[in-house]
Every structure is written in C-alpha cells, then in structure tokens.
Amino acid sequence: QAGWSLAIHGGAGTIARDSMTPEEDAAHRAALQAALDAGAKVLAEGGSALDAIEAAILIMEDEPRFNAGKGAVYTWDATHELDASIMDGRTRDAGAVAGVTTVRNPILLARKVMTDSPHVMLSGKGAESFAAEQGIELVPPSYFDTEFRLKALERMKAKQLSALDVDVKFG
C-alpha cells in the first residue's frame, strides 16, 4: 500500500525557550499533536490529502493559541480580518478568501470557493455573502476576541505612538 505524509505549522517567529512557561510549552505541543493526529487519521484510513489538511487546520483555527480563526490577532482598529487558502495538487484547483470577519473557519470557505465557485479568491463582504449562501458557519466578530491578543495590540500601540512609524512598518 502506498505511503502518506503530513506536515503542519502553527506560525513562526521569535519563540524562545525562556518566553514560555512549561505549561504553555506543553499546551502548544498538545495542540500541535491534536492537529497532527487529526490529519494523520484521515490519511491512515485512506482519505484524501485535502480532507487531511482540512482536519488539521480546523483544529488549529479553533485553538486560540494560534493566529488563525479563534486566535486571530487584532487589526489597528481592534477588529479581526481573516484570510485562508487551499489548493488541490491533483487538479491545481485553488480557493482563497481574504479579509473575512464573521467566518468561524475560513479554511472551509476557501475550500467552498475552490469547489463551488468559478473563482480563486473572494474578499470581504462578498466572500461573507458567498459563505452564507453556501451554509458556512458565521459567527459574530466578537467570537474572535481574546484578551491576550488585545493586550498585544495595546502594547504595540503604546510603543508606536507615531503614525509615521506605523505607516513605515506596515505600509
């Protein structure tokens, strides 16, 4: 029987050993393992690569420790804007969404764009209208609120009071 393979990530950055408590370290590893296990189960049972990556990503989107879905960071205006994409290597079909604010699991919407629209990318309100038509779960924007992410925004603003600094950084 042919083999299968899976890799996942939950973001990269300045992640130092002394920046996390042992409890947080363990919680992150457990969350990664849960996502890995979900995808691996699909593949081990003969499921498709698309279903496997969806299973893994859904768990990470629902895990507030990662910057996606429930754990999305805050914009400057203290809102959340989520993006996602998916691609099928068999056909090179692809789907993507950008700047959605009420879609609980953007990866599901990206897959719907791929399978149920003639387009590759939808954005903003239009993407959310498409989501509603397709029966994708919508949530109030407050669903994505997390206190530790809000504090991160407040710390950033406190350090960068100059609008010019911010413009340079993100422009």
Partner 1 sequence: TVGAVALDRHGNLAAGTSTGGMTGKRWGRVGDAPIIGAGTYADDRACAVSATGWGEFFIRVGVARSICALMEYEDQSAQAASDAVMDDVKALGGDGGVIVVSPSGEAVFSFNTAGMYRGRATSAGVNEVAIYGDE
Q: Hey, which residues between 62 and 121 contact partner 1 (CB under 8 A)?
A: 66-69, 71-77, 80-90, 92, 94, 96-99, 105-107, 110-111, 120-121
Taking the complex as a whole, how short is the minimal distance between the CB of residue 9 and partner 1, in angstroms? 5
Q: For 118-122, which contacts have Cβ atoms below 8 Å and span 24 or more sequence positions?
A: 119/95, 120/94, 120/95, 120/96, 121/85, 121/95, 121/96, 121/97, 122/96, 122/97, 122/98
Helix (H/G/I), strand (E/B), else coil: 160: coil
Nearer to partner 1 by Cβ, of 6 and 131: the residue is 6
Pick the binder of partner 1 from 27, 49, 138, 139 (CB under 8 A): 49
Closest-CA residue to 10 (of 50, 64, 79): 64
Closest-CA residue to 7 (of 56, 66, 69): 56
Pick the binder of partner 1 from 22, 23, 46, 142 (CB under 8 A): 46
When asked if residue 141 is in the footprint of partner 1 (CB under 8 A), the reply is no
How many residues interact with partner 1 (rule CB under 8 A)? 87
How many beta carbons lie within 10 A of that of residue 166, not counting itself? 14
Closest-CA residue to 5 (of 30, 34, 42): 42
Pick the binder of partner 1 from 27, 138, 139, 166 (CB under 8 A): 166
Give, as ranges, the residues between 26 and 45 that touch partner 1 (CB under 8 A).
Answer: 28-29, 32-33, 35-37, 39-40, 43-44
Taking the complex as a whole, how short is the minimal distance between the CB of residue 129 and partner 1, in angstroms? 17
Taking the complex as a whole, how short is the minimal distance between the CB of residue 111 and partner 1, in angstroms? 8
Taking the complex as a whole, how short is the minimal distance between the CB of residue 103 and partner 1, in angstroms? 10
Measure the CA–CA gap between 73 and 159, rounded to whole angstroms: 17
When asked if residue 137 is in the footprint of partner 1 (CB under 8 A), the reply is no
